[in-house]
Structure 1
Amino acid sequence: MKRIVVLGGGESGVGAALLAKEKGFEVFLSDAGNLKQDKKDVLSHADIPFEEGGHTEDRVLIADEVVKSPGIPDTAPLIRKLDTLRIPVIDELEFAARFTKGKLLAVTGTNGKTTTVKLFYHILQKANLDVGLAGNVGQSLARQILEGDRDYWVLEVSSFQLDRIYETRFHVAILLNITPDHLDRYNYEFDRYVDSKFRITKSQTEEDHFIYSADSKAVVDELQNRDLKAKQYSFSAMGYQEGLNAWLENEKLIININGELEMSIQELALQGKHNASNGMASGIASRILEIRKEIIRDSLSDFQNVEHRLEHVTTVSGVEYINDSKATNINSTWYALESMQSQTVWIVGGVDKGNDYSELLDLVKDRVKAIIALGKDNSRIHAAFDNVVPVIHDVTDMREAVGLAYRESRKGEAVLLSPACASFDLFESYEDRGNQFKEYVRAL
């Protein structure tokens, strides 16, 4: 009997363990940290042995195959040992994909993945296709396949997941953009990060489809070095150019595949050029699947935004409060500030991943009237903006941040939580950070 060892007891790990058990494998799950009680209950109920608080190497190194949590870096000593012993180490998506007959539709990119995935899923649901949503969002693919296979799976795929995907074939692959992020996982080499993102095309054939942004220099440059087998499609928010399949022109979004779909950008449920790009990517993918233009148009008009991504919370005394807690890097926050139409009090800060704030200077000069720096160490924020923004407050809890933002804002302005940083100095997660923001805003 084949021995499967699962490293990491989060959503993807537990899902992989359950699927492996169902398929008749000998399974063992090991987590270096503490497992949540609900995960332990699920594993115990399924009669899957597990350990927490550390890895017992003797039990891990006898595996025929290891399914690794994407959060565990390839440089971890145990992963290096497994690689040296040539024991296959794969991602949960790679394992789960073996057990579906459905077509895999994958989205990656530094920013916009979650919005695009949910928008694409929304369109396919509206078209009454048998479709599931998995990957880096919601329940794991493995657990959902266990509950029932689908004809189509829309997957959000991170670079960490792609690093351990070798044979999985994506019928449609969308690459939204590539900008520097998570470089600590790639030895601070941008080329390695780019290569990781392009792994989404690795097993594609002539019958598959690759959609990319013509606005992303890193993507366009890398395409010159690659001979991809899949059919290629591109989109741009910068206007028409030859060869594009979707573009913005004269305040209109145009998708040209099997006939032209045209709609005013004012009709889009999600505003801002970045969201128009997300709409074009999902629209192209939907036309490839022969979804009717009317369904795509309706879906782009009535889509409800992702929580914690430019989420309108409420308006208090004429001031709009916007929760963009999911913006954990500079590029995401650039998009948020670019979409602001009024003077803004900006709540920023957290665990800085080596941010270059200079990219935001022009937008900050133009749109930000005050900064609330929310973090244990705000020195880099001060270095970047002390001479740019007249008011900068330092805070270490969300209640104080919201209170100060309320006092600094006036009718017709906005308060934007878009941290450009990870959340782990003061919060459990970006969701916790966003939820606290919403709680204190609604209490004003």
Structure 2
Amino acid sequence: MKKDWRNISESGSQKLVILGGGESGAGTAILGNKKGFKVFVSDQGKIKDKYKEVLLNIEVEWEELRHTEAKILDADVVMKSPGIPDTVPLVLKLKELGIPVISEIEFATAFTSAKIIGVTGSNGKTTTTKFIHHILKAGKISVGMAGNVGDSFAKQVAETKPDWFVLELSSFQLDGIENFRPEIAVLTNITPDHLDRYDYKLENYVASKFRITENQTENDFFIFDADDEIIEEWLKNNKIKAQKLPFSLEKKIENGAEIENENIVININNDQFNMPTTTLGLQGKHNTKNAMAAATVAQLLRIRKETIRESMENFQGVEHRLEKVLKINNVQYINDSKATNVNATFYALESMESETVWIVGGVDKGNVYDDLLPLVNEKVKAIICLGVDNTKLLNTFGNCVETIVETQSMSEAVTMAYRLSEKGDSVLLSPACASFDLFENYEDRGRQFKDAVRNL
């Protein structure tokens, strides 16, 4: 029978095993050690030096390049890093033994009295999380930011005591929760992504995203995109306890956020906020939605309306998301490396206002590119494939553009883009794929793009 992992003492006799020695693993080790657990960190790969240093400093036991089962299977609780699938034999074995396997988010929440704003979705998570954090800080609220951004949540819980945390949450992190309950949950959108981790079933991925609200009560709030058909369909067929606050570009919304005469209008219990969309610091439909979600949170927290407006006007967005790098020979180079799925790239192409040379490709997570065809026909003059296997891209877009080429490195792709672009064009890196075939992660891919552009 599975134990409730929270029925644990702080006597030092409880064993916390951490699978994965990265950011979340090292942070959980700091917090677990502080709370009196006997900590053991195990990583199948190599642990980065900066995390080894952390583990050595706090004097916990760790191993790399292996998982010693005897040391792992006698755990009282296991924190599994989000990158490790639930289907790994070792994880299945732990679950068979009734040993709780949880995420860092679940573990750390048990040791903080801070209120939580959780943000999930296929796209816009990071921007919305940073947006909320930006407005709350401007409103003089004591707030930390964690999850997929900044220092790990567990590390911050161990070292800081803010009144609120804004957490960017992936579906993988939500898969490992049991009791986690955000006072405010935000769901930006749902489009097919990471289906390789969900048996290629969209409904499994959707269920995973909605776990953000499963422990919420009628005193909590659920902010969501009412234009998203997948979200609307799920809500039609499933009940949630939290108070719903939708946002929409298209619909009339009584309680929540809508667009009226090019103004964002937010109504919460007859308290109204409005501002023109034209003054937003970040333009584009998707950014308007991110702004509506963030401003709805700010309204709930009763931040001054003037502060919300100013914050939304001066917010500058995030690295690797439609980031303008340089203009060379009047060609704008744009880094959208964070676009790791088709929907994110759809937004990027939609926002292009000039002829575009598009750099695309990487590890395909079950992508279907058909939705991009109209935009590619309208805006893209040449495609540069950047991946180990580009077959699907070549088959899908081969007849759309005159020029489609394959490259095997970022410098080669950028040099090719330089040759193919003309005055007034844009060069857009928006891969629609994960990065792990040629790069360490999407940040590494984005930085290599920027370096290559600067070296032209």
Asked whether the equivalents of residues 372 and 392 of structure 1 are also in contact (C-alpha less than 8 Å), the reply is yes
Residue in structure 1 matched with residue 57 of structure 2 by the alignment: 45
Residues 357-376 of structure 1 aligned to structure 2 (within 5 Å): 357-376=369-388
Q: What letter corresponds to residue 19 of structure 1 in structure 2?
A: L
Corresponding residue number in structure 2 for 1:245? 256
Q: 1:443 Cα deviation (Å)?
A: 2.3
Q: Structure 2 residue aligned with 1:269, among 267, 281, 286? A: 281
* Percentage of identical aligned residues: 56
Partners of 1:277 and 1:152 lie apart in 2 by: 23
**Structure 2 residue aligned with 1:415:** 427
Question: Match for 1:110: what amino acid?
Answer: S
Residues 195 and 366 in structure 2, CA contact (< 8 A), matched pair in contact too: no
Measure how far apart 1:157 and its partner are: 0.5
Q: Secondary structure at the match of 1:410?
A: coil
Q: Give the stretch that moved more between structures: 408-417 or 334-343.
A: 408-417
1:149 matched to 2:176? The reply is: no
* CA–CA separation in structure 1 for the residues paired with 2:60 and 2:398: 55
- Tell me, yes or no, if the aligned pair for 1:236 and 1:244 is still in contact at 8 Å: no
In structure 1, runs of 5+ residues without a counterpart are none
Equivalent residue for 1:121, pick from 124, 128, 133? 133
Answer yes or no: is 1:194 the counterpart of 2:206: yes
Instruction: Give the residue type in structure 2 aligned to 1:255.
Output: I
Structure-to-structure mapping, 1:334-345, within 5 angstroms:
334-345=346-357
**Equivalent residue in structure 2 for 1:432, among 419, 426, 444:** 444
Aligned partner letter, 1:250: N
TM-score by length of 2: 0.95
Deviations along 1:333-365, one digit per CA (max 9) or x if unpaired, are: 001001111111111111112211111000111
The residue aligned with 1:443 is 455
Could you say what secondary structure the match of 1:107 adopts?
Answer: strand
Deviation string 1:26-56 (CA, Å, 9 cap, x unpaired) is: 1111111111112112111111001111111
Aligned length: 443
2:343 paired residue number: 331
- Look up the SS of the partner of 2:266 in the other structure: strand
Aligned equivalent of 2:34: 22
Counterpart secondary structure, 2:237: coil
Distance 1:63 1:436 in 2: 41
In the TM superposition, what is the alpha-carbon distance from 1:242 to its structure 2 partner? Answer: 4.2
Amino acid at match of 2:47: L
Looking at structure 2, the residues matched to 190 and 166 of structure 1 have their Cα atoms a distance apart, in angstroms, of 22
> Whole-Å Cα distance in 2 between the matches of residues 248 and 316 of structure 1?
37
- TM-score, normalised to structure 1, is 0.98
Q: Cα distance, 1:264 vs. partner?
A: 2.2
What does 1:257-406 correspond to in 2, within 5 Å? Answer: 257=268, 258-406=270-418
1:246-284: CA deviations, max 9, x gaps?
A: 122333322223533222222111111011110001111
Kindly indicate whether the alpha-carbon contact (under 8 Å) linking 1:234 and 1:243 is maintained by their aligned counterparts in 2. Answer: no
Secondary structure of the 1:104 match is: strand
Letter in 2 for 1:327: A
1:64 maps onto 2:76 in alignment: yes
8 Å Cα contact 2:363-2:387 kept in structure 1: yes
Which residue identity lines up with residue 338 of structure 2 in the other structure?
Answer: K
**CA-to-aligned-CA distance 1:277-308 (integer Å, 9 cap, x gap):** 10001111110111111111111110121000
Task: Report the CA distance between 1:237 and its aligned residue.
Answer: 2.0
**Given that residues 169 and 204 in structure 1 are in contact (C-alpha distance below 8 angstroms), is that contact kept between their aligned partners in structure 2?**
yes
Equivalent of 1:83, from 87, 95, 102? 95
SS of aligned partner of 1:234: strand
Deviation at 1:244, TM superposition (A): 5.3
Partner of 2:6: none
Q: How far does the alpha carbon of each residue in 1:64-111 deviate from its partner, in whole angstroms, 9 at most, with x for none?
A: 111111111111101111111111111111111111111010000011
| Aligned-pair CA distance for 1:138 | 1.2
Larger CA deviation: 352-361 vs 104-113 = 352-361
User: How far apart in 2 are the matches of 1:276 and 1:118?
Assistant: 14
d(CA) in 2 for partners of 1:435 and 1:361? 28
Alpha-carbon distance in structure 1 between the residues aligned to 2:370 and 2:363: 18
Rounded Cα–Cα distance in structure 2 between residues aligned with 1:311 and 1:273: 16
Work out the CA distance in 1 between the residues paired with 2:412 and 2:89.
42
Q: In the TM superposition, what is the alpha-carbon distance from 1:417 to its structure 2 partner?
A: 0.4
SS in 1 for 2:112: coil
CA 244–380 in structure 1, closer or farther in 2 if over 3 Å, else same: farther
